[in-house]
Structure 1
Amino acid sequence: MNWTDPAALGYPAVFGGVLLGSIIPIVPTGAVVGAAAAVATSSGQLSLPLVIVFSVLGAYLGDVVTFGIPRLGSEAAFRWISRRQPAERLEKAREQFARRGWQLVVVGRLVPAGRIPVLLAAAALSYPWRRLLPAAFVACVLWATAYSLLGIVSGGVFDSPLIATLLATVLVLLVTVLTNLIARWRRKTKERV
C-alpha cells in the first residue's frame, strides 16, 4: 500500500468513518461524505463516484448492523422500546411500518438524528428483513448523493481541498442544525394543535 497516495487512505477513511458513524453516532457521517466529495471535486485525488460508492457501502452496512442487533433479539428490544409507550402508540407505529415502512426507513436516513430511532423501532416491531434491505439501500444511495452534492458545491467554489473540505463540513453541519430546528418547530406546532 502506498501511504502517500490519497486514494489509499481516502476511500478506507470514507468507508470506515461512515460505517462507524452509522453504528455509533459519534462521527458526523454527512461531514465525512461532504468532505470527501469536496476533495474529489477540488483536487481530483479521489474519484467522486468511488466516494459515493464507499459512502453507500459504509452507510448500508452500518444500517444493517444497527437494525440487525436489536432485530435478532427483538423480544428484548421490543420490551426496551415499549417500556414507557402506551399500547395505542405502539400499535399505531406497527400499522405505520406495515403500510409505509420503506418510506419511514428512507426518511429516517435522510433526516438528521432520525435513522437510529427508525431502525430501532423497525427492529423492535419485527419489520421484515426482505423489506428493510432494499429500503435501506435506496435510503443510503439518496443520503450519500445528497451529502456529496454539498461537497461538490464547496469543491466547485474553492480550488483548495482544505478550504473546500472545511466549507463542506460547515454546510453539512448547517443543514443538520436547520433540519433539526425545523423538525423541533413542527413538533411544537403539532403539540399545540
Structure 2
Amino acid sequence: MISELGALAWLFTVVAFGAIVPVVPTGAAVSGAAALAFHDHPLLIVLVIAAGAAGAYAGDLVMYAMCRAGGEQLARRLRWLRDEEHLASVKERLQHSQIPVLLVSRLLPGGRVPVLLAAAFLGLSWRTFVVANLPACALWSAVYAAIGVVGGSIFPEPWQGVIAAVVLVVIVTQVVSMVNKRRAARSEARDAAETA
C-alpha cells in the first residue's frame, strides 16, 4: 500500500509539473500508470484518475495564477505564448462560450495552454476558471487512464501495456496535431483567397 501511495504521489507531481512546464508528456504518465494499475489491482485505476486529475488541476491553477500576475510578458519569456493569431481566435471563442471552451481545452493536444493564456489575459474570473477546470481535469485524466487500460488489457505483461499506452498516446497526439495543422493551413488559404 505504501508503494502505491508513493507511485500516486509521483504521478501527481509529474502531472502538476507537466501542467506548468508543458514539455512533460502528462497524458502518457497517466496512461502508463493506469496500465500498471490494471495489472496490479484494477481498483487502483480510480486512484490513478484522481491523482492525475488533482495534479493537472494544481498545475493549471499555478499556471493560471502566473499568467494572471505576469501577463503576456511572462508568457513570452517562458515561451508559453507562441502563436498570437491563434491566441486571438481563442480569446474570441472564450468571450462567447467560456465554460465549453475550458472543458474541451484539456482534451485537445496543444489546446490547454492557449486557452489558459487567453483566459488569463482576458481576466476570466477565478471562480469561473476554478469551477470549469475541475471537470475538465477529471475528464482529461479519465480519458488518458482509459487509453492506459486499453493498452494494459491487450498485453499480458504490465510493461507491454505501459509501452502500448504511451505509443497510443503519442500516435493520437500526432494525428490530432496533423489534423489541426491541416485545418489551419486550409483556413489561411481560404482567408488569402478571400482577400485576393
TM-score over 0.5 for the pair: yes
Which amino acid is 2:174 matched to? V
| Map of 2:69 onto structure 1 | 72
Q: 1:100 to 1:151 in 2, by over 3 A?
A: same
Distance in structure 2 (CA, Å) of the matches to 1:75 and 1:182: 28
Which amino acid is 2:160 matched to? I
Distance in structure 1 (CA, Å) of the matches to 2:37 and 2:162: 10
- 1:156 matched to 2:153? The reply is yes
Distance in structure 1 (CA, Å) of the matches to 2:55 and 2:130: 14
| 2:104 and 2:136 in contact (8 A); partners too | yes
Q: 1:42 to 1:127 in 2, by over 3 A?
A: same
Partner SS, residue 173 of structure 2: helix
Moved more, 73-82 or 157-166: 73-82
1:1-193 alignment, distance < 5 Å:
2=2, 5=3, 7-44=4-41, 47-74=44-71, 90=88, 94-193=91-190
When normalised by structure 1's length, the TM-score is 0.86
| 1:109 and 1:115 in contact (8 A); partners too | yes
Q: What is the root-mean-square deviation of aligned Cα atoms in Å?
A: 2.6
Partner SS, residue 106 of structure 2: helix
| 2:90 and 2:115 in contact (8 A); partners too | no
Partner SS, residue 103 of structure 1: helix
Which amino acid is 1:114 matched to? G
| 1:42 and 1:158 in contact (8 A); partners too | no
| 1:18 and 1:58 in contact (8 A); partners too | yes
| 2:109 and 2:177 in contact (8 A); partners too | yes
Which amino acid is 2:167 matched to? V
When normalised by structure 2's length, the TM-score is 0.84
Partner SS, residue 26 of structure 1: coil
| 1:74 and 1:126 in contact (8 A); partners too | no
Partner SS, residue 27 of structure 1: coil
Q: How many residues get paired? A: 186
Distance in structure 2 (CA, Å) of the matches to 1:75 and 1:112: 22
Question: Please, which runs of 5 or more residues in structure 1 have no aligned partner?
Answer: none
Q: CA deviation at 1:73?
A: 3.8
Which amino acid is 1:155 matched to? G
Q: CA deviation at 1:19?
A: 0.5
Which amino acid is 1:151 matched to? G
Q: Tell me the percent identity.
A: 35
Q: 1:53 to 1:124 in 2, by over 3 A?
A: same
Question: Please, which runs of 5 or more residues in structure 2 have no aligned partner?
Answer: 191-196
